[in-house]
Amino acid sequence: MSGEIGNEVASRRLFDVVREKMRTRHMAYRTEQAYLQWIRRFITYHQRRHPRGLGGPEVEQFLTYLAVDRKVSSSTQAQALQALLFLYRVVLEVDLPWLENVTRANRPRRLPVVLSRAEVRAVLGQLEGRPWLVANLLYGGGLRLLEALRLRVKDLLLERHEIVVRDAKGGKDRVTVLPEALDPALRTHMRHLREWFEAERRRGAPGVSLPQALARKYRGAATSWGWQYLFPANRLCDDPYGGGAIRHHLHEQSIQRAMKEAIRRAGVIQPASCHTLRHCFATHLLEDGYDIRTVQELLGHSDVKTTMIYTHVMQKGAKGVRSPLDRSG
């Protein structure tokens, strides 16, 4: 019994060190939570033994268990691997041997779901309010859902019709297009947002969440206009870094639920989602004649091969082939 208590105390201390190491590297809070979850599952799988008493064979065994028994996707297995590599290399300062005996999860090659332009219009027509504006940014600028929800006032360059996407996937910034068609709606939204913001300041409400380093560097940023979220949450939440109340951005589930209902009402039978609008953005741009390198930059893909998948779904018919049944005569 005392041994289990000792292990629990050691684990708590270990998690504190892991959390500290990730925060000194300014890793995203979601990444922090995901890594801690995988480390906790790894320890639990090995009967709560401390990771320092484990090594390469135990890591291989756990990753194989995920693929064979839990049947996780390849991306999930890869995330678990990255979490354990961080634990051993950064926290414990132990080099793991080459993990060559891991059974890899299958990586299925599937084409993305892409809606026609008419279907996109039908889905957008079933939305209103903030979900409508968010969905139009997803399709009009090729944003991921969280990229849109994390937008701050300063990230919209209305006069230049540009959106600056900060700290996107892979920790990169990029610039994408801001649809001119959204200009009136965005200006109206920002006018209402400014009025709400001024009312919040008058009543002394807490500011918005900020990356930890920025919160220290710019003391007043959390309550300044430029740093406000374009889509703030309705309620305050606890600051996971400094404690106290802060305002975060709108939760993605609220948009996902609205999108799901809009897809149903629009009569779309394909398994579409918020991310489908990003696929539609890329495919429709290629159909309009824009070169693939331009689309790659707008999407923020590191490798053009990732963008090239849209060339397989942009043509009418499989690979643009015309069926012999359609030939006349």
SS3 letters across the chain: CHHHHHHHHHHHHHHHHHHHHHHHCCCCHHHHHHHHHHHHHHHHHCCCCCHHHCCHHHHHHHHHHHHHCCCCCHHHHHHHHHHHHHHHHHHCCCCCCCCCCCCCCCCCCCCCCCCCHHHHHHHHCCCCHHHHHHHHHHHHHCCCHHHHHCCEHHHEECCCCEEEECCCCCCCCEEEECCHHHHHHHHHHHHHHHHHHHHHHHCCCCCECCCHHHHHHCCCHHHCHHHCECCEEEEEEECCCCCCEEEEECCHHHHHHHHHHHHHHHCCCCCCCHHHHHHHHHHHHHHCCCCHHHHHHHHCCCCHHHHHHHHHCCCCCHHHCCCHHHCCC
Nearest Cα residue to 153 out of 234, 224, 241? 224
Confidence at 188, pLDDT banded by 50, 70, 90: very high
Nearest Cα residue to 111 out of 265, 319, 302? 319
Condensed to tens digits (0 to 9), the pLDDT of residues 36-88 reads: 999 999 999 999 999 999 988 999 999 999 999 898 888 899 999 999 999 99
Q: How far apart are CA 150 and CA 144, in angstroms?
A: 10
pLDDT recorded at residue 5 = 38
Does pLDDT of 20 surpass 70?
yes
Does pLDDT of 23 surpass 90?
no
Q: What is the mean pLDDT of residues 234-245?
A: 83
3-state secondary structure 112-123: CCCCCHHHHHHH
Q: Burial, 276: exposed, middle or buried (Cβ in 10 Å; 0-12, 13-18, 19+)?
A: buried
Q: What is the mean pLDDT of residues 165-178?
A: 88
Confidence at 6, pLDDT banded by 50, 70, 90: very low
pLDDT recorded at residue 321 = 59
Condensed to tens digits (0 to 9), the pLDDT of residues 109-125 reads: 778 899 999 999 999 99
Confidence at 9, pLDDT banded by 50, 70, 90: very low
Can you give the pTM of this predicted structure? 0.81
Condensed to tens digits (0 to 9), the pLDDT of residues 299-323 reads: 999 889 888 888 877 665 555 556 6
Q: Which of 30-34, 150-154, 168-172 has the highest mean pLDDT?
A: 150-154
The CATH number of the structural domain formed by 2-91 is 1.10.150.130
Residues that are catalytic = 144, 169, 275, 278, 301, 310
Condensed to tens digits (0 to 9), the pLDDT of residues 202-235 reads: 999 999 988 766 767 777 889 999 999 999 999 9
Confidence at 2, pLDDT banded by 50, 70, 90: very low
Phi and psi at 183, nearest 5°, equal -55, -50
Q: Where are the domains of the chain?
A: 2-91, 117-312
pLDDT recorded at residue 1 = 40
CATH, domain 117-312, list 3.40.50.300, 1.10.443.10, 2.40.10.10, 1.10.3720.10: 1.10.443.10
117-312 matches 2-91 in CATH topology = no
Instruction: Identify which has the larger pLDDT, 85 or 243.
Output: 85
Contacts of 156 (CB under 8 A, 6+ apart): 163, 178, 186, 190, 230
Q: What is the mean pLDDT of residues 144-162?
A: 95
